[in-house]
Amino acid sequence: MKYRQLGSQGLTVSELGLGCMGMSEFYGNSTEEESIATIHRALELGTTLLDTADMYGPFKNEELVGKAIKNHRQQVVIATKFGIMRSEERGFRGVNGKPEYVHQACNASLKRLGVEYIDLYYQHRVDPNVPIEETVGAMAELVQQGKVRYIGLSEAAPNTIRRAHKVHPITALQSEYSLWTRDPEDEVLPTVRELGIGFVAYSPLGRGFLSGAITSPDDLAPDDFRRNSPRFQGENFNKNLQVVERVKEIAAEKGVEPSQLALAWLLALGQDIVPIPGTKRRKYLEENVAATNISLTQADLERINEVAPKNVAAGDRYPDMSTVNR
């Protein structure tokens, strides 16, 4: 495993992180035993960045991660998030960026994780009703109190990122980025690069689509949230499957899995990009980590760009796009 600098404040992380969300919700059934074993295997392989959020579960994912890292605190960089409010019954209660809520949410996350500080604390979604300066001001207070080391934003627009960065240095921006979600290339990536902010790419495998393992909507569990995603429905699904088939052809020629090709492509785009593929099984974790050993030539990158150009995916990323990029 190699390591990369996230942002300009001194945070070093493994070049590939681990998204833990699916261990608790959204992607069908999972077991705590295999999830914890997966986190432990990730640490053995040199992965240091573990990504969670208070709303995953809800609340259960932080507890799971906390349990897994109990005797490994110095090995990990814990990234968690606040801002998307949920009830114990799994209902969504909106977005909250109020300063008092920032402090409340952080204290709750620290308790669930069983740690004294959070390495990287993100605002999960921007609250349109609270000036970003107020939210980030409260996050800066957490840094001053020693509860948080570095702060980040998720799915924020360029102007919001600039305003936030003036209040307190932003270490990382987390947004969806993959071969079928290349929107960040337009404005967000140039903005964070200008400001010296790292980029954490979530869903780097297109929510599993780029693995090549999903060939029909019926491959998804009945409670899998992807069934509600426009990209996994109707004609969009069929169009997106054609893109995956072309990616699979290139991967086969190189003797790698399509998921590994997709990760290697992201890793080749810059030392400031850290993908965080999510998995709840050791088998797929090992497959993903092996992607860090794949070298792509300029010709490879150009060919991949031809089969998966910007805006190639059919359908929106979410049923409701109103909470992202604001």
Alpha carbon distance 215, 209 (integer Å): 8
Alpha carbon distance 83, 164 (integer Å): 15
Alpha carbon distance 149, 254 (integer Å): 40
Q: Which of 76, 190, 55, 61 is nearest to 125 (CA)?
A: 55
In the sheet that holds 273-275, the strands lie side by side as: 18-19, 49-51, 77-82, 118-123, 148-154, 172-176, 198-202, 273-275
DSSP string, 168-207: S---EEEEE-BTTB-GGGTTHHHHHHHHT-EEEEESTTTT
To the query of whether residue 56 is one of the catalytic residues in this protein, the response is yes
Alpha carbon distance 120, 104 (integer Å): 17
Q: Which of 48, 60, 50, 52 is nearest to 81 (CA)?
A: 52
Secondary structure tally for the chain: helices H, strands E: 10, 12
Side-chain half-sphere of 76: how many Cα atoms within 13 Å?
27
Q: Which of 306, 324, 325, 276 is nearest to 53 (CA)?
A: 276
Alpha carbon separation from 235 to 86, 178, 191, 213, 262 (Å, rounded): 32, 21, 34, 18, 23
- Of these residues, 27, 56, 122, 284, which one is catalytic? 56
Identity of the residue numbered 159: N
Active site residues: 56
